[in-house]
Structure 1
């Protein structure tokens, strides 16, 4: 009997490392086909929960948060962009790249989960933000991502025009924080194992194969990273 693993992928659309983590995880899942079945769920995490809707430049944001210089920021992001390119993802960054509030994107992702379309919407949102530098705090950008992900635009608009799933997102954020998730990306496997950071496909594959060989989950929360 093929074992099934539940993976809760905790991430933020505004996080470039989450793109790398998801690409690596998806490649690993593909390699496991026939050996391990995966039940993938996306969970919310906001890197900048107090960010204004208009956002601010990544340079200003990271300089204030970490004291980074513009050169340091661009060098680090160039490393991420190169890794993304090697995985087939076009990631653009410059001194004008902006950080936006992602709460409504998480609400839409929660709704997409009810429709079974989370992976497709995650990819569309990552492309909107990281490939085209679009403002994911705006309804039009979110709706333009919903359609290619196979979601009904009118239904998505109704979700965004209300406060639907706001409490669900906040509760989920709190849950994963209390379970030891302090940074993203983080992959929680079967509620027992926490894989932190953007890992390459080989690392995810090895970990998932080892976990699949373990006794059945007892439902305990993951240990802190």
Structure 2
């Protein structure tokens, strides 16, 4: 089976959704027989690389809610992640532009390291509170998952793989996708958003 996942590294629901999918694949015994392909999608292509405000302040501004409401919403996300063993650190989270991280993902894909790279970037952003638009951070992640750090740095200093990111995003737009995570199973069944593990299990069982 093949599962394509359009996601963004700055999307907390994407990390949660991917974890739930993994649990469903393990439950159905399909973990070893499933190819997971991550696709690039930027929720905010215009995001800056650095912000002075914290994530609660940014969310309050974006959605026109109070700072208290933004913090409460983020607390709910943190709790949902915690249930899956993900210790989100929103207090120190560094919201940023994800385009370079996506570009480097296509290098990881070419080297057969996409799954490891995606996991490492998500952990770096949500758990370790690192600035994933920073070249040093991204090169370090690349090296940790077995990619060549010199090649990674060259990519980040050029426009390499920009086209591939845009292709993924164009493919999403053509499907009518305007948010992530977005899962496509064997090019037959599409699911938007975080689903319960049981829902993923039903889909997988129907396609086995």
Fold conserved (TM > 0.5)? yes
The 1:127/1:34 distance shift into structure 2, 3 A limit, reads closer
| Stretch moving more, 99-108 or 158-167 | 158-167
The 1:170/1:78 distance shift into structure 2, 3 A limit, reads same
The equivalent residue for 1:219 is: none
Pairwise CA RMSD of aligned residues?
1.8
Decide whether the 8 Å contact of 1:36 with 1:209 is kept in 2: no
The equivalent residue for 1:22 is: 18
The equivalent residue for 1:33 is: 29
The 1:34/1:135 distance shift into structure 2, 3 A limit, reads closer
Count matched residues. Answer: 207
The alignment status of 1:124 with 2:120, answered yes or no, reads yes
The alignment status of 1:63 with 2:60, answered yes or no, reads yes
The equivalent residue for 2:86 is: 89
Residue 169 (structure 1) aligned to one of 153, 165, 174: 165
Q: Which has the higher contact order (CA 8 A, sep 6+)?
A: 2
The equivalent residue for 2:192 is: 196
The equivalent residue for 1:54 is: 50
Decide whether the 8 Å contact of 1:7 with 1:187 is kept in 2: yes
- 1:34 offset after TM fit, Å? 5.5
- List alignment gaps of at least 5 residues for structure 1: 213-225
- 1:36 offset after TM fit, Å? 7.8
